[in-house]
């Protein structure tokens, strides 16, 4: 299966990288089995490149996910109430089903998806309750790394890319501005499963 990816560049030098560094499965090896590891795209000062960076679990993240679920459910409920009020009495009595618009179906799906993310975050919180070290680069295990801002958004789409957009991060190599854009390309890559200990250090890779 081919997938689109993002391309990163620098406004001052010829640096190039892509979001494919985060492709694949990442898991912690815990006493009760494998638990998904949360990660994002960032920069490792020791690797001197764009890398997957560990995101440690938090109560705050769980509350954010719960708020997203509440907001999605509110929209779904409001839609259902409007439909109930607008349908004829006969349709209400016969309980004829109504095709939901794409936006509402998407919000219902989001509620299920986010509920799964809450469960994963709770598992990570329990597993890493004694964790002392800072988030690590998932390439070299250094803590000398940082995540890129979550809110950067490239223009256009994977099918119709826009021009590069600055992400608000200075390129540590040259002082230029790091930029992101849709690559406009789809790739097929073998997906590896990387398994880490509870300190964020790589134990093994599996196909």
Per-residue pLDDT tens digits for 167-187: 999 999 899 999 999 999 888
My answer on whether 134 and 201 are in the same domain is yes
Rounded-to-integer distance, Cα 64 and Cα 72, Å: 13
**Residue that has been written with the tokens 């912690």 in this structure:** 28
**Buried-exposed string 94-110: b where 16+ CB fall within 10 A, e elsewhere:** eeeeeeeeeebeebeeb
**pLDDT tens-digit map of 20-67:** 999 999 999 999 899 999 999 999 999 999 999 999 999 999 999 999
My answer on whether 18 and 112 are in the same domain is no
DSSP bridge pairs for 170: 177
Q: What is the pLDDT of residue 146?
A: 96
My answer on whether 47 and 145 are in the same domain is yes
- DSSP alpha helices (H): ranges in the chain? 59-86, 89-94, 102-127
My answer on whether 160 and 199 are in the same domain is yes
My answer on whether 71 and 172 are in the same domain is no
Q: Which among 101, 119, 137 is the end of a domain?
A: 119
- Total domains in the fold of the chain: 2
My answer on whether 95 and 143 are in the same domain is no
pLDDT band at 191 (very low <50, low <70, confident <90, very high): confident
Q: How many CB atoms lie within 10 A of CB 51?
A: 22
Q: Which domain holds residue 197?
A: 3-56+128-206
Q: What is the pLDDT of residue 83?
A: 76
My answer on whether 14 and 80 are in the same domain is no
User: Mean pLDDT across the chain, nearest whole number?
Assistant: 91
**pLDDT tens-digit map of 94-152:** 555 557 788 888 999 999 999 999 999 999 999 999 998 999 999 999 999 999 998 88
């Amino acid at each position: 299966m081919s997938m689109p990816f993002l391309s990163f560049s620098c406004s001052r030098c010829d640096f190039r990288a892509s979001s494919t560094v985060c492709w694949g499965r990442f898991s912690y090896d815990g006493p009760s089995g494998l638990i998904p590891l949360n990660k994002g795209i960032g920069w490792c000062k020791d690797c001197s490149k764009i890398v997957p960076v560990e995101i440690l679990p938090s109560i705050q993240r769980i509350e954010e996910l719960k708020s997203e679920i509440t907001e999605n459910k509110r929209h779904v409920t409001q839609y259902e109430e409007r439909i109930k009020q607008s349908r004829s009495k006969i349709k209400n009595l016969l309980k004829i089903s109504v095709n939901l618009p794409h936006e509402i179906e998407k919000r219902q799906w989001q509620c299920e998806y986010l509920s799964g993310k809450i469960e994963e975050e709770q598992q990570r919180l329990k597993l890493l309750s004694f964790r002392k070290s800072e988030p690590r680069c998932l390439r070299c295990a250094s803590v000398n790394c940082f995540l890129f801002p979550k809110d950067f958004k490239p223009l256009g789409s994977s099918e119709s890319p826009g021009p590069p957009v600055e992400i608000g991060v200075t390129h540590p190599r040259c002082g230029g501005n790091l930029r992101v854009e849709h690559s406009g390309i789809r790739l097929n890559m073998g997906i590896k499963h990387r398994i880490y200990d509870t300190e964020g250090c790589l134990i093994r890779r599996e196909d």
